[in-house]
Amino acid sequence: GQNIDQPTEMTATEGAIVQINCTYQTSGFNGLFWYQQHAGEAPTFLSYNVLDGLEEKGRFSSFLSRSKGYSYLLLKELQMKDSASYLCAVDNDYKLSFGAGTTVTVRA
């Protein structure tokens, strides 16, 4: 079976940094996605990690440790528009398993 865990909610202040953790136990692994989903909208792609290490893309960075079954998404210089749900998903031979998502609320 697939088990993907991430915190349910996080709150942070505008301009701050927030780290969203994701741990996984899956029957296979090809890579790990992070998606952003605003309320009432479709998810949009943020990052995809295949190899261990940190990948930076503007204000967002994603880290992967395959040996630990662990990833995190780092959001820097938080803006109000970053208030959304962040979804971690494990890619296993064309099958995608998502975590339940982490709702991030950015306060002024």
Partner 1 sequence: EAQVTQNPRYLITVTGKKLTVTCSQNMNHEYMSWYRQDPGLGLRQIYYSMNVEVTDKGDVPEGYKVSRKEKRNFPLILESPSPNQTSLYFCASSPPPQNKNTGELFFGEGSRLTVL
CB of 43 to partner 1, least distance (A): 5
18-25 sheet: strands from edge to edge: 3-5, 18-25, 70-75, 60-65, 53-57
Q: Are 99 and 6 in contact (CB under 8 A)?
A: yes
Interface contacts to partner 1, rule CB under 8 A: 2, 30-31, 33, 35, 41-45, 48, 50, 87, 89, 91, 93-101
Q: How far is the CB of 16 from partner 1 (least distance, A)?
A: 25
Nearer to partner 1, 48 or 60 (CB): 48
Q: How far apart are CA 33 and CA 24, in angstroms?
A: 12
Angle at the Cα of 12 (from 9 to 16), degrees rounded to 5?
Answer: 140
Nearest residue (CB) to partner 1, 42 versus 108: 42
> What's the token pair of residue 99?
């975590």
Q: How far is the CB of 108 from partner 1 (least distance, A)?
A: 27
Please report how close the Cβ of residue 39 comes to partner 1 at its closest, in angstroms. 12
Closer to partner 1 by Cβ: residue 69 or 101: 101
